[in-house]
Amino acid sequence: MRNRLILLPGWGLGTASLQPLAASLRAQDPRLHVELAPLPELAEASAQVWIDYLDRKLPTDVWLGGWSLGGMLASALAHKRGDHCCGLLTLASNPSFVARLDWPHGMAEDTFGTFLDGCRSHPQVTLKRFRSLCSEGAQQPRTLLRQLGVGVPDTDPLYLANGLEVLAQLDTRQALEHYAGPQLHLYAGSDALVPADAAKALSELLPDVEVGLVEDSSHAFLLEYPQELASGIKSFLHESGDD
Protein backbone atom coordinates (compact mmCIF):
# COMPACT_ATOMS: atom_id res chain seq x y z
CA MET A 1 0.00 0.00 0.00
CA ARG A 2 1.59 3.24 -1.14
CA ASN A 3 -0.41 5.12 1.49
CA ARG A 4 0.85 3.05 4.43
CA LEU A 5 3.96 3.97 6.45
CA ILE A 6 5.50 1.82 9.19
CA LEU A 7 7.81 3.65 11.61
CA LEU A 8 10.30 2.02 14.00
CA PRO A 9 11.57 3.83 17.11
CA GLY A 10 15.07 4.44 18.41
CA TRP A 11 16.85 2.39 21.03
CA GLY A 12 15.38 2.21 24.52
CA LEU A 13 12.58 4.78 24.21
CA GLY A 14 9.70 2.87 22.66
CA THR A 15 7.08 4.10 20.23
CA ALA A 16 5.92 7.02 22.43
CA SER A 17 8.75 9.10 20.99
CA LEU A 18 7.20 8.73 17.54
CA GLN A 19 3.65 9.68 18.52
CA PRO A 20 3.88 13.46 17.88
CA LEU A 21 5.36 12.93 14.42
CA ALA A 22 2.77 10.25 13.59
CA ALA A 23 -0.05 12.54 14.76
CA SER A 24 1.29 15.39 12.62
CA LEU A 25 1.56 13.13 9.59
CA ARG A 26 -2.02 11.92 10.02
CA ALA A 27 -3.29 15.47 10.47
CA GLN A 28 -1.50 16.77 7.37
CA ASP A 29 -2.44 13.81 5.19
CA PRO A 30 -5.56 11.97 6.40
CA ARG A 31 -5.17 9.41 3.60
CA LEU A 32 -1.81 8.28 4.96
CA HIS A 33 -1.95 5.28 7.29
CA VAL A 34 0.87 5.68 9.82
CA GLU A 35 1.65 2.73 12.06
CA LEU A 36 4.24 2.49 14.84
CA ALA A 37 6.00 -0.82 15.38
CA PRO A 38 8.18 -1.57 18.43
CA LEU A 39 11.74 -2.77 18.14
CA PRO A 40 12.23 -6.53 18.49
CA GLU A 41 12.81 -7.95 21.95
CA LEU A 42 14.95 -10.96 21.16
CA ALA A 43 17.45 -13.08 23.06
CA GLU A 44 19.76 -13.07 20.03
CA ALA A 45 22.06 -10.08 19.60
CA SER A 46 22.27 -10.56 15.84
CA ALA A 47 21.41 -7.85 13.34
CA GLN A 48 20.40 -10.42 10.73
CA VAL A 49 18.09 -12.19 13.18
CA TRP A 50 16.43 -8.86 14.01
CA ILE A 51 15.98 -7.97 10.34
CA ASP A 52 14.53 -11.39 9.54
CA TYR A 53 12.16 -11.07 12.52
CA LEU A 54 10.92 -7.67 11.31
CA ASP A 55 10.50 -9.07 7.81
CA ARG A 56 8.15 -11.71 9.20
CA LYS A 57 6.25 -9.31 11.46
CA LEU A 58 5.77 -6.21 9.31
CA PRO A 59 3.48 -6.00 6.26
CA THR A 60 5.09 -5.91 2.84
CA ASP A 61 4.59 -3.37 0.04
CA VAL A 62 4.53 -0.42 2.44
CA TRP A 63 6.82 2.54 3.16
CA LEU A 64 9.39 1.80 5.86
CA GLY A 65 10.96 4.34 8.16
CA GLY A 66 12.42 4.91 11.58
CA TRP A 67 14.37 7.01 14.00
CA SER A 68 18.03 6.26 14.77
CA LEU A 69 18.33 2.46 15.29
CA GLY A 70 14.82 2.09 13.88
CA GLY A 71 15.89 3.83 10.69
CA MET A 72 18.94 1.60 10.35
CA LEU A 73 16.78 -1.51 10.67
CA ALA A 74 14.29 -0.06 8.19
CA SER A 75 17.16 0.55 5.75
CA ALA A 76 18.35 -3.04 5.98
CA LEU A 77 14.79 -4.34 5.62
CA ALA A 78 14.10 -2.11 2.61
CA HIS A 79 17.14 -3.57 0.88
CA LYS A 80 16.05 -7.11 1.77
CA ARG A 81 12.56 -6.51 0.36
CA GLY A 82 13.61 -4.61 -2.75
CA ASP A 83 10.59 -3.95 -4.96
CA HIS A 84 8.30 -5.01 -2.11
CA CYS A 85 9.21 -1.86 -0.18
CA CYS A 86 7.55 1.34 -1.47
CA GLY A 87 10.28 3.61 -0.13
CA LEU A 88 12.50 4.45 2.83
CA LEU A 89 12.57 7.29 5.36
CA THR A 90 15.17 7.67 8.12
CA LEU A 91 15.50 10.23 10.92
CA ALA A 92 18.89 10.81 12.59
CA SER A 93 20.02 7.36 11.45
CA ASN A 94 23.74 7.01 10.88
CA PRO A 95 24.55 4.33 8.27
CA SER A 96 27.10 3.12 10.83
CA PHE A 97 26.50 4.39 14.36
CA VAL A 98 29.95 3.25 15.46
CA ALA A 99 32.91 4.75 13.64
CA ARG A 100 34.84 2.50 11.24
CA LEU A 101 38.11 2.94 9.38
CA ASP A 102 36.23 3.89 6.22
CA TRP A 103 33.42 5.72 8.06
CA PRO A 104 34.79 8.10 10.70
CA HIS A 105 31.42 9.83 11.12
CA GLY A 106 30.24 7.76 14.09
CA MET A 107 30.81 7.21 17.80
CA ALA A 108 34.29 6.07 18.78
CA GLU A 109 34.39 2.33 19.38
CA ASP A 110 35.78 2.64 22.92
CA THR A 111 33.13 5.22 23.85
CA PHE A 112 30.41 2.90 22.57
CA GLY A 113 31.95 -0.02 24.48
CA THR A 114 31.79 1.98 27.71
CA PHE A 115 28.15 2.80 27.00
CA LEU A 116 27.36 -0.87 26.37
CA ASP A 117 29.10 -1.92 29.60
CA GLY A 118 27.06 0.70 31.46
CA CYS A 119 23.86 -0.67 29.96
CA ARG A 120 24.69 -4.15 31.20
CA SER A 121 25.60 -3.05 34.73
CA HIS A 122 23.32 -0.03 35.31
CA PRO A 123 20.62 -0.02 32.62
CA GLN A 124 18.40 2.69 34.15
CA VAL A 125 21.31 5.06 34.69
CA THR A 126 22.43 4.45 31.11
CA LEU A 127 18.94 5.09 29.75
CA LYS A 128 18.80 8.38 31.64
CA ARG A 129 22.17 9.36 30.22
CA PHE A 130 20.97 8.38 26.76
CA ARG A 131 17.89 10.58 27.04
CA SER A 132 20.12 13.45 28.08
CA LEU A 133 22.29 12.96 24.99
CA CYS A 134 19.17 12.81 22.81
CA SER A 135 18.09 16.23 24.07
CA GLU A 136 21.53 17.85 23.89
CA GLY A 137 21.63 20.53 21.22
CA ALA A 138 17.89 21.23 21.40
CA GLN A 139 16.46 24.74 21.65
CA GLN A 140 14.76 23.73 24.93
CA PRO A 141 16.73 20.71 26.21
CA ARG A 142 15.02 20.46 29.62
CA THR A 143 11.56 20.41 28.09
CA LEU A 144 12.66 17.83 25.54
CA LEU A 145 14.28 15.70 28.24
CA ARG A 146 10.97 15.56 30.10
CA GLN A 147 9.18 14.59 26.89
CA LEU A 148 11.65 11.77 26.30
CA GLY A 149 10.87 10.34 29.73
CA VAL A 150 7.17 9.91 28.93
CA GLY A 151 5.98 6.46 27.91
CA VAL A 152 9.38 4.77 28.11
CA PRO A 153 8.74 1.01 28.20
CA ASP A 154 10.05 -1.18 31.00
CA THR A 155 12.33 -3.20 28.75
CA ASP A 156 14.28 -6.19 30.02
CA PRO A 157 17.97 -5.16 30.41
CA LEU A 158 18.99 -8.15 28.27
CA TYR A 159 16.97 -6.81 25.34
CA LEU A 160 18.40 -3.32 25.85
CA ALA A 161 21.97 -4.63 25.72
CA ASN A 162 21.18 -6.81 22.71
CA GLY A 163 19.75 -3.76 20.96
CA LEU A 164 23.03 -1.91 21.47
CA GLU A 165 24.98 -4.87 20.11
CA VAL A 166 22.78 -4.88 17.01
CA LEU A 167 23.30 -1.12 16.69
CA ALA A 168 27.07 -1.67 16.69
CA GLN A 169 26.86 -4.44 14.08
CA LEU A 170 24.75 -2.54 11.57
CA ASP A 171 26.42 -0.87 8.61
CA THR A 172 23.72 0.01 6.12
CA ARG A 173 25.84 1.72 3.47
CA GLN A 174 25.66 -1.15 0.98
CA ALA A 175 21.96 -1.65 1.69
CA LEU A 176 21.29 2.02 0.90
CA GLU A 177 23.45 1.92 -2.21
CA HIS A 178 21.65 -1.13 -3.59
CA TYR A 179 18.09 -0.23 -2.63
CA ALA A 180 16.51 1.26 -5.76
CA GLY A 181 13.36 2.73 -4.20
CA PRO A 182 12.87 6.35 -3.12
CA GLN A 183 14.85 7.42 -0.06
CA LEU A 184 14.76 10.40 2.31
CA HIS A 185 17.32 10.75 5.09
CA LEU A 186 16.96 13.61 7.58
CA TYR A 187 19.62 14.63 10.10
CA ALA A 188 19.87 17.05 13.03
CA GLY A 189 22.44 19.83 12.93
CA SER A 190 23.34 19.77 16.65
CA ASP A 191 23.01 16.02 17.24
CA ALA A 192 25.18 14.75 20.13
CA LEU A 193 24.91 11.12 18.98
CA VAL A 194 25.07 11.25 15.17
CA PRO A 195 27.57 13.80 13.79
CA ALA A 196 26.09 16.28 11.34
CA ASP A 197 28.91 15.46 8.90
CA ALA A 198 27.32 12.03 8.47
CA ALA A 199 24.68 13.82 6.37
CA LYS A 200 27.33 15.27 4.05
CA ALA A 201 29.10 11.93 3.80
CA LEU A 202 25.85 10.15 2.95
CA SER A 203 25.09 12.76 0.28
CA GLU A 204 28.45 12.02 -1.30
CA LEU A 205 27.83 8.26 -1.08
CA LEU A 206 24.30 8.58 -2.53
CA PRO A 207 24.30 11.66 -4.80
CA ASP A 208 20.89 10.83 -6.27
CA VAL A 209 19.14 10.42 -2.90
CA GLU A 210 17.48 13.18 -0.88
CA VAL A 211 19.40 14.00 2.31
CA GLY A 212 18.39 16.91 4.57
CA LEU A 213 19.90 18.62 7.61
CA VAL A 214 17.75 20.45 10.18
CA GLU A 215 19.92 23.13 11.77
CA ASP A 216 19.92 23.83 15.52
CA SER A 217 18.19 20.58 16.41
CA SER A 218 18.96 17.57 18.59
CA HIS A 219 18.98 13.83 18.05
CA ALA A 220 15.35 13.90 19.21
CA PHE A 221 14.39 16.50 16.60
CA LEU A 222 11.28 14.51 15.74
CA LEU A 223 9.91 15.68 19.12
CA GLU A 224 11.16 19.24 18.60
CA TYR A 225 9.75 19.78 15.11
CA PRO A 226 7.06 17.16 14.44
CA GLN A 227 4.94 19.41 12.22
CA GLU A 228 7.85 20.65 10.13
CA LEU A 229 9.26 17.15 9.67
CA ALA A 230 5.80 15.83 8.80
CA SER A 231 5.46 18.49 6.12
CA GLY A 232 8.77 17.49 4.55
CA ILE A 233 7.92 13.81 4.74
CA LYS A 234 4.49 14.41 3.19
CA SER A 235 6.09 16.25 0.26
CA PHE A 236 8.60 13.43 -0.21
CA LEU A 237 5.89 10.76 -0.21
CA HIS A 238 3.78 12.65 -2.74
CA GLU A 239 6.71 13.49 -5.01
CA SER A 240 7.63 9.81 -4.95
CA GLY A 241 4.24 8.80 -6.29
CA ASP A 242 2.15 8.45 -3.16
CA ASP A 243 -0.58 10.68 -4.57
Active site members? 68, 191, 219
The secondary structure of residue 218, as a DSSP letter, is -
Coil, strand or helix at 209? coil
What are the respective helix, strand and coil percentages of the chain, to the nearest 5?
50, 15, 35
Going from the C-alpha of 71 to that of each of 10, 37, 67, 114, 176, the distances in angstroms are 8, 12, 5, 23, 11
Handedness of CA 16, 228, 69, 161 (dihedral sign): negative
Going from the C-alpha of 167 to that of each of 19, 54, 56, 91, the distances in angstroms are 23, 15, 20, 15
